Amino acid sequence: MGDFNNFDDAIALMLVAKDPRYRIELVVVEESFNTVAHGANMVYNILEWLGNLDTEVIRGSYSALDEVRLGANGANAVGTAVNDAESVPGQPDYQLPNSADATTGIWNLERRNVMGINIYQQYVPGPWRDNGSTLYGTDHLIPRATQENYHYRGNRGEAFNFKLAEDIVLEKLDQLNQKAVVLNTGKLSTFARVLAKASTAQLNKIQQVVIMGGGFQGLAPFTANNPAACFGNKTLNLGGNIFSHPSFGCNTDFSTHQEFNILLDPVSAQRAFDLLSAKGITTFLIPTNATDAAKLKSTTIDALAAPGGTPESCYTSSLIVALRAFEGGDFNGNGDFALDAVIRLWDMVAVLVLLDPQLVVNIQKSYVSVDQLDPGLAESNTPYDPITFDPTVGKTTLSESGTGKKIRVVLSVNTDAARQSMIARLRNRFNAAVQGRRSQCRDAH
């Protein structure tokens, strides 16, 4: 489960899809700051590229009523099937890339979220959501999915007449003959509903849960001797990853209390943590404490592009180059700002904790508390800015108060080994993409 609208989601999905020990039965695409249809299509493209042809992809629980009304294609969808078949009228390709493809010169504007809002009705600036959703102008390098069952159609129905995401997840659990792993790299809206509605028999089908989310102030590296990285002279890093950027002049704290996935839906996050403990489900939480030091280095670009790689390792090298350029590169003339201060292996670390558990260095068992939004936001002077109104909303804290099995909070990993594992896995020819331009590797420099 995740929003699949940025670089770390894409790379994390590749890592899971390539591992021979796991079969991806279901992908739930949560809405965040781009359309679910676009996230679903990113999933379809990557899965088909890596030879996975039978995974069901659905949208997560609805929270933005406008998207329900508008549907996947940007037209009034009341009573009409959610279907990508005519996403760009007059174009035979049902799912054109978001980024500019030199072979067509066409941008697929239907895949953009013209609203650009999150659960708090906050506006997300276009450059952030557009560049994330286009994988920084590289998504056209991944071949388009072509098989009929890899066309996004919502949740098996029409707008206002569809199966609920949590019911599809529970149905899938009933069908399984072996235990499943739940990997959640987005907000916890759908998963909280799954846990609340599941029977004991269905919950017993879950072997373990791995969640990317949260951040804990006062625990390494978010301590007094770890100042925020925005030119090295801002307030302390408080444990989140919603940060200022050089293009904004670094006029705000580099890191607030908030981690993106938890902030999107603090209510569901708290409910999910409480239910996971109460139901006794083994759960690993990977917060920003474990990912803050997991940085992409310039050597990663070269290692992925080295001779003998795969189409997906070549592509990932190109993706990192594009991401580095967008984030400013050596923006302030003092080191590589993009790689040193901005980009982290967020979702990739969560996946690698699942695939290579020996990477974990420090783990602490605890209950988890999530700060909820103070009442009165709508009437405040900042109704579209919950962080300004309530600076601690979405903040996660370790707690001794709770019921049942404690969450296993991964506070640090061997970041160098994690980075090398990511590189090796993407270069491994098992489940390698059957098509792709290896010349991308050379184009990366």
The whole-model pTM stands at: 0.86
Which CA distances in Å does 334 have to 296, 299, 330, 337, 397? 17, 18, 7, 7, 34
pLDDT value of residue 373: 85
Average pLDDT, the chain: 78
Q: Tell me how far apart the alpha carbons of residues 107 and 126 are, in angstroms, rounded to a whole number.
A: 15
**Residues 6+ away with beta carbon under 8 Å from 21:** none
pLDDT over threshold 70, residue 141: yes
Residue with tokens 């670390």: 349
Task: Identify whether 291 is part of a domain.
Answer: no
Residues counted in the chain: 445
Tell me which residue range forms the domain holding 75: 1-163
pLDDT over threshold 50, residue 95: no
Q: Please state whether the peptide bond connecting residue 127 to the residue before it is cis, i.e. omega within 30 degrees of 0.
A: no
Report which of residues 224 and 261 the model is more confident about: 261
Q: Are 301 and 322 in contact (CB under 8 A)?
A: no
pLDDT value of residue 62: 63
pLDDT over threshold 50, residue 5: yes
First to last CA, the chain: 34
222: which 2 tokens? 């978010």
152 burial (CB, 10 Å; 0-12 / 13-18 / 19+) is buried
Tell me the residue ranges of DSSP E strands in 60-173: none
Task: Identify whether 376 is part of a domain.
Answer: no
pLDDT over threshold 50, residue 355: yes
Q: Tell me how far apart the alpha carbons of residues 268 and 271 are, in angstroms, rounded to a whole number.
A: 5
Mean pLDDT of the 158-171 span: 76
- Helix, strand and coil percent figures for the chain, each rounded to 5: 35, 15, 50
Mean pLDDT of the 342-370 span: 95
Report which of residues 418 and 373 the model is more confident about: 418
pLDDT value of residue 133: 73
Q: Tell me how far apart the alpha carbons of residues 136 and 138 are, in angstroms, rounded to a whole number.
A: 6
DSSP state of 117: B
pLDDT over threshold 60, residue 203: yes
Query: CA quadruple 36, 39, 45, 51: dihedral positive or negative?
Result: negative
Q: What percent of the chain has pLDDT over 90?
A: 41
Any alpha helices (H) in 279-393, and if so which ranges?
A: 288-291, 298-305, 311-326, 337, 346-355, 386-389
Which of 232, 371, 323 shows the shortest CA–CA distance to 8? 323
Instruction: Give pLDDT tens digits for 288-324.
Output: 999 988 888 888 999 999 999 999 999 999 999 988 8
pLDDT over threshold 50, residue 115: no
DSSP state of 70: H
Highest mean pLDDT among 48-62, 127-141, 426-440: 48-62
Confidence of residue 63 (pLDDT cuts 50, 70, 90): low
Task: Identify whether 303 is part of a domain.
Answer: no
Which CA distances in Å does 343 have to 156, 298, 326, 355, 423? 36, 12, 11, 22, 16
Q: Tell me how far apart the alpha carbons of residues 45 and 39 are, in angstroms, rounded to a whole number.
A: 10
How would you label 107-139 residue by residue, b for 16+ Cβ within 10 Å and e otherwise?
bbebbbbebbbbbbebebeeeebbbbbbbbbbb
pLDDT over threshold 60, residue 429: yes
pLDDT value of residue 71: 41
Q: What percent of the chain has pLDDT over 70?
A: 70
378 burial (CB, 10 Å; 0-12 / 13-18 / 19+) is exposed
pLDDT over threshold 50, residue 99: no
Mean pLDDT of the 124-141 span: 71
Q: Are 123 and 160 in contact (CB under 8 A)?
A: no
Q: Average the pLDDT over each of 8-22, 104-118, 155-169 and give the range with the smallest value.
A: 104-118
Mean pLDDT of the 43-49 span: 92
pLDDT over threshold 70, residue 243: no
Q: Tell me how far apart the alpha carbons of residues 215 and 412 are, in angstroms, rounded to a whole number.
A: 12
pLDDT value of residue 408: 98
pLDDT over threshold 50, residue 65: no
Q: Tell me how far apart the alpha carbons of residues 93 and 104 are, in angstroms, rounded to a whole number.
A: 11
Instruction: Give pLDDT tens digits for 177-195.
Output: 999 999 999 999 889 989 9
Any alpha helices (H) in 327-443, and if so which ranges?
A: 337, 346-355, 386-389, 415-427, 439-443
Confidence of residue 94 (pLDDT cuts 50, 70, 90): very low
pLDDT over threshold 60, residue 82: no
Domain count, the chain: 1
Highest mean pLDDT among 162-171, 243-252, 416-425: 416-425
**Residues 6+ away with beta carbon under 8 Å from 355:** 15, 16, 19, 421, 425
Q: Tell me how far apart the alpha carbons of residues 34 and 6 are, in angstroms, rounded to a whole number.
A: 10
pLDDT value of residue 87: 43
Task: Identify whether 332 is part of a domain.
Answer: no
With left for phi above 0 and alpha for psi between -120 and 50, is residue 258 left, alpha or beta? beta
Q: Are 256 and 371 in contact (CB under 8 A)?
A: no
Mean pLDDT of the 87-105 span: 44
pLDDT over threshold 60, residue 60: yes
Task: Identify whether 146 is part of a domain.
Answer: yes
Instruction: Give pLDDT tens digits for 222-237.
Output: 887 766 555 544 556 6
Task: Identify whether 32 is part of a domain.
Answer: yes
pLDDT over threshold 60, residue 161: no
Backbone angles phi and psi of 330, in degrees to 5: -85, 65
Bridge partners (DSSP) listed for residue 364: 409
Q: Average the pLDDT over each of 60-69, 110-119, 139-148, 197-206 and give the range with the smallest value.
A: 110-119
